[in-house]
């Protein structure tokens, strides 16, 4: 299916709510859970989830949601996760990805890492403007969400995403992790260069002398940068 057709599948408001809920969880989501989150009947949720799968926006599988196996464990349930492919529409057609990859390749070969990071830090400062350095993790999460990073808070008090949903975790101190890297396609080819640029951008955006700091802490499937409180508190 063409990208424009896939994106058009999100025009339905119920379908969009279901999609946004599934991708915000960072794990497999069953039909009952998705239906409850979207405030619709299970049968309607199942219909829209299948449409999203057909459009290539979600991937589906099956597993037992009870956590048990063997006789009496129940039948496997349908579960959904975000599709791994990217979707983009540009009218007229543009190819910024190729340009970004060529520039990254040239910068890497020329050893321009430091210059790129300096430029990224200046851009982050420009995005922040005249505002003071970020005041805390909640403010940082709002800024990250606005830029497409899909942040979620992990820490002793649980996991909290930008919408306020919580869950359990074993981390000892609060840290903001991000389920999406806006530079993912280029970062896959040039990880040291682009991840360093990303860190510098966020250092400029948040400031380096306030209560929030960004640092490298790569984890599979997530952005390579995390954000934490330099004062070990949330606000």
Tokens at residue 70, please?
């063997």
Question: Mean pLDDT lowest for which of 65-79, 152-166, 220-234?
Answer: 152-166
> Where are the alpha helices (H) located in 59-136, listed in sequence order?
96-109, 113-128
pTM given for the model: 0.80
Q: Is residue 161 predicted with pLDDT exceeding 60? A: no
Q: What is the mean pLDDT of the chain?
A: 88
Q: Residue 21 has what pLDDT? A: 96
- Provide mean pLDDT across the span 200-208: 93
| Each residue's pLDDT tens digit, 109-157 | 999 999 999 999 999 999 999 888 888 999 999 999 999 999 999 874 5
- Contact 218/207 with Cβ under 8 angstroms? no
3-state secondary structure string, 32-72? HHHHHHHCCCHHHHHHHHHHHHHCCCEEEEEECCCCCCCCC
- Contact 141/153 with Cβ under 8 angstroms? yes
Contacting residues for 161 by C-beta, under 8 A, at least 6 apart: 24, 150, 151, 152, 153
Q: How much of the chain, in percent, has pLDDT values that exceed 90?
A: 68
Question: Mean pLDDT lowest for which of 12-16, 42-46, 88-92, 103-107?
Answer: 88-92
What is d(CA 110, CA 190) in angstroms, rounded to the nearest whole number? 13
Q: What angle do CA 175, 180, 183 make, to 5 degrees?
A: 115
Where is pLDDT greater, at 167 or 58? 58
């Amino acid at each position: 299916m063409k990208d424009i057709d896939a994106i058009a599948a999100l025009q339905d408001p119920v379908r969009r709510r279901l999609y946004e809920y599934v991708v915000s969880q960072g794990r497999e989501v069953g039909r009952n859970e998705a239906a409850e989150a979207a405030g619709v009947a299970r049968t309607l949720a199942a219909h829209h989830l299948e449409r999203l799968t057909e459009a290539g926006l979600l991937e589906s599988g099956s597993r037992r949601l009870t956590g048990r196996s063997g006789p009496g464990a129940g039948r496997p349930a349908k579960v959904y996760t975000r599709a791994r492919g990217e979707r983009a529409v540009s009218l007229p057609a543009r190819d910024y990805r190729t340009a970004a990859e060529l520039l990254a390749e040239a910068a890497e070969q020329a050893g321009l890492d430091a210059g790129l990071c300096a430029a990224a830090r200046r851009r982050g400062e420009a995005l922040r403007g005249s505002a003071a350095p970020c005041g805390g993790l909640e403010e940082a999460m709002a800024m990250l969400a606005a830029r497409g990073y899909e942040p979620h808070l992990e820490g002793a008090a649980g996991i909290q995403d930008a919408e306020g949903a919580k869950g359990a975790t074993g981390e000892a101190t609060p840290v903001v992790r991000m389920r999406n890297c806006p530079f993912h396609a280029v970062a896959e080819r040039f990880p040291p260069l682009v991840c360093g640029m990303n860190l510098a951008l966020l250092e400029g955006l948040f400031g380096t002398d306030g209560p929030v700091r960004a640092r490298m802490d790569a984890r599979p499937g997530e952005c390579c940068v995390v954000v934490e409180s330099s004062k070990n508190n949330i606000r």
